[in-house]
Amino acid sequence: MTSGKKVFGEPVCLLQEGDLWVFSKPSGMCTHPAHGEEGEDLLAWARRACGAPASLAPVHRLDRETSGLVMCSADPEQRGSMSLWFRDGEVNKTYLALVYGETRTKGTINRALADARRGKPLEAVTRYKRLEVLLERASLLRVTPETGRKHQIRRHLQGIGHSIVGDTRYPPPRWRALPGFPGRLWLHALEMNLPDGRTLEAPLSEELVAHLRLLRGDQEEQATVVTKEEDAEDSSKGA
């Protein structure tokens, strides 16, 4: 279960070109001030730690629980033109997600999602590719949303029976414990390909890297145990 309050590490300023600022946001930190939320948000941190101007504002959304790339701009005109890239689907976004269960090797989720603000379902498309299966209990996915609905990836993956590990808002039907659970939503905004030809990337958060290392280690250990058991069985048959 996630606490919803803990911030997992410090943000990192990945790029600053003129009025454009790109950050890697940690899980647990809001991008901008939010009503009723305590703690320093990303914009406040950028002004304090990096000397960013007061006019700095985000170009797009990223959930508090999700870590990874956030683009900001101090220039309203630049911010407006870049936000149109996102609205019109011109930015190719890639996320890494660890989900419960063994998914198909790849798939496309094409299912409209309810939008409370507009009062009607909106078209939503998410593609995914399985990178590996861990402990026969979880799948590491490379996810590329083609539309940008609220909580789209989380809702779509829950809808196909593979909720994201640590997602208390869109949980699986029943919880399955994973060794070394890092205590946060296992979703990271990894990469953006912009229409101007630039590619931005935020390295996977340290706590997620450590969790993968632990799961892979447990998997190798289990495989070694199975191999030893098989060898012992073969030896007994040959005796």
Domain ranges for the chain, please list them.
12-217
Q: What pLDDT is stored for residue 239 in this prediction?
A: 53
Q: What pLDDT is stored for residue 194 in this prediction?
A: 97
More confident of the two residues 237 and 91: 91
Region 27-41: mean pLDDT is 86
Q: Which of 63, 115, 196, 231 is catalytic?
A: 63
Q: What is the overall mean pLDDT for the chain?
A: 91
Residue 20, pLDDT > 60, answer yes
Tokens (6 digits) for 160: 């196909």
Q: What pLDDT is stored for residue 234 in this prediction?
A: 56
Q: What pLDDT is stored for residue 57 in this prediction?
A: 97
What does the pLDDT look like over 125-162, one tens digit per residue?
999 999 999 999 999 999 999 999 999 999 999 999 99
Instruction: Given CATH 3.30.2350.10, say whether it is the number of domain 12-217.
Output: yes
Residue 63: active-site member:
yes
Residues with Cβ < 8 Å from 40, sequence gap 6 or more? 29, 48
> For residues 107 and 130, what is the distance between their CA atoms, to the nearest angstrom?
9
Helix (H, G, I), strand (E, B) or coil at 173: coil
Longest Cα–Cα distance of the chain, Å, equals 80
Structural contact between residues 122 and 111, judged by C-beta atoms closer than 8 angstroms: no
